[in-house]
Amino acid sequence: MSEALRVPTMAEYMAQGKKPEVLFWVGCAGSFDDRAKKITKAFARILNKANVDFAVLGAEESCTGDPAKRAGNEFLFQMQAVTNIEVLNAYEIKKVVTACPHCFNTLKNEYPALGGNYEVVHHTTFLKSLLEDGRLTVEGGKFKGKRITFHDPCYLGRANNVYEAPRDLLRKLEVELVEMRKCKSKGLCCGAGGAQMFKEPEPGNKDVNVERTEQALETKPEIIAAGCPFCNTMMTDGVKNKEKEDSIEVMDIAEMIASAQEL
């Protein structure tokens, strides 16, 4: 905590005539949402610790357009996409890492047809590769032996078949990983996807996040691990709804790793 964060922008890199090995795409939630900003900082601290040469776009970053596209506003989505692609291509970006599965999915799958071709990875996959390359070491620390369940983000799991990277990281933290009744390809959505995050739910008999939180609570976890800022918000609200916020934490895997390393 003592060391200041080193988060250069692409503009600064450009001014020095350098290129980073990876662009950290922060995303709207990661930039503005108070809860998600903690995830962003935790991930940046890990990148600092592992001496990853990275940069952010800063004020040059703009919404990927995911919520607009899922709401049906293809026009707004493509305007966002094309503008972002111009910026990314101008900086000759080759590799992008993001802590938001929605940004991840959109950048990886929907930008190529519009001229944006990058290697895009989710931060859990990136962290796993840092471990494999020996650039980062992870020990359980305070999480060792803790009972933890992982909530699969739809846009990481079903949408892109990434199920194991987050779980591998949890295993590295030596936690007791317990799976929910509905997990991996059968995981239940937190309720935020498809632009639901930005609107009131339709009438029903329960909120989706409460249903999902109940499934998580069935595993009697000490921590619910997440890999998406929106899932994080939804599950945190769900835990509060169940008045369990004193005993159960909702944490992003990046936060857990940073915390275990006392970063």
Partner 1 sequence: MQYIPNLIFLIILVLGVGFFIKNIKKLLRNIRLGKDIDRSDNRPVRWRNMAKIALGQYKMVTRPVSGILHVVVYIGFIIINIEVLEIIMDGLFGTHRIFGFLGGLYNFLIGSFEILAFLVFVAVVVFWLRRNVIRIKRFLSPEMKGWPKMDGNLILYFEMVLMTLFLVMNATDYQLQLNGAAHYASGDGIVGAFPVSQYLLPLFNGLSDSALILIERSAWWVHIIGIFVFLNYLYYSKHLHILLAFPNTWYAKLKPKGELDNLQSVTDEVMLMMDPNADPFAAPADGAEETGDPEKFGASDVTDLNWVQLMNAYSCTECGRCTSECPANQTGKKLSPRKVMMDTRDRLEEVGKNIEANGSFKEDGKQLLDDYITKEELWACTTCNACTEACPISIDPLSIIMEMRRYMVMEESSAPTDLNNAMTNIENNGAPWPFNQMDRANWINES
Interface pick for partner 1 out of 116, 166, 193, 229 (rule CB under 8 A): 193
Per CB under 8 A, the list member of 144, 186, 220, 240 interacting with partner 1 is 186
Residue 262 lies near partner 1 (rule: CB under 8 A): no
CB 147, min distance to partner 1, A:
25
The answer to whether residue 200 forms part of the interface with partner 1 (CB under 8 A) is: yes
The piece of 108-116, 165-173, 216-224, 236-244 that touches partner 1 (CB under 8 A) is 108-116
Q: How many CA atoms lie within 13 A of 76 on its CB side?
A: 11
Please give the Cα distance from 20 to 95 (Å, whole number): 9
Spatial distance between the Cα atoms of 99 and 67, rounded to a whole number of angstroms: 16
Query: Does residue 242 interact with partner 1 by CB under 8 A?
Result: no
Shortest Å, Cβ 188 to partner 1: 6
Q: How many CB atoms lie within 10 A of CB 215?
A: 18
* Residue 89 contacts partner 1 per CB under 8 A: no
| H helical segments located in 179-225 | 208-217
* Minimum CB–partner distance for residue 129 and partner 1 (Å): 20
Q: Under rule CB under 8 A, how many of the chain's residues touch partner 1?
A: 74
Beta carbon of residue 108, minimum distance to partner 1 (angstroms, whole number) = 8
Phi and psi angles of residue 45, each rounded to the nearest 5 degrees, phi first = -65, -40
Told to check if 257 binds partner 1 by CB under 8 A, we report: no
CA neighbours closer than 13 Å in the CB half-sphere of residue 102: 24
Among 160, 205, 168, smallest CA distance to 187 is for 160
Residue 12 engages partner 1 in binding (rule: CB under 8 A): no
Rule CB under 8 A: which of 206-225 touch partner 1? 206-208, 210-212
Report 124-153 residues binding partner 1 (CB under 8 A).
Answer: none
What is the chain's Cα-based Rg? 18
- Cα separation, 210 vs 170, whole angstroms: 24
Cβ neighbourhood burial of 254 (10 Å; 0-12, 13-18, 19+): buried
User: Is the Cβ of residue 189 or residue 257 nearer to partner 1 in the bound state?
Assistant: 189
Q: Measured from the CB atom, is 134 or 204 closer to partner 1?
A: 204
What would the DSSP string read from start to end of 57-115? -GGG----SHHHHHHT-HHHHHHHHHHHHHHHHHTT--EEEES-HHHHHIIIIISGGGT
Q: Does the protein bind partner 1 through residue 28 (CB under 8 A)?
A: yes
Stretch that binds partner 1, among 77-85, 137-145, 168-176, 250-258 (CB under 8 A): 77-85
Instruction: Work out how close the CB of 244 gets to partner 1 at its nearest, in angstroms, rounded to a whole number.
Output: 19
Q: Which of 81, 170 has the CB closer to partner 1?
A: 81
Contact (CB, 8 A) for 175 and 144: yes
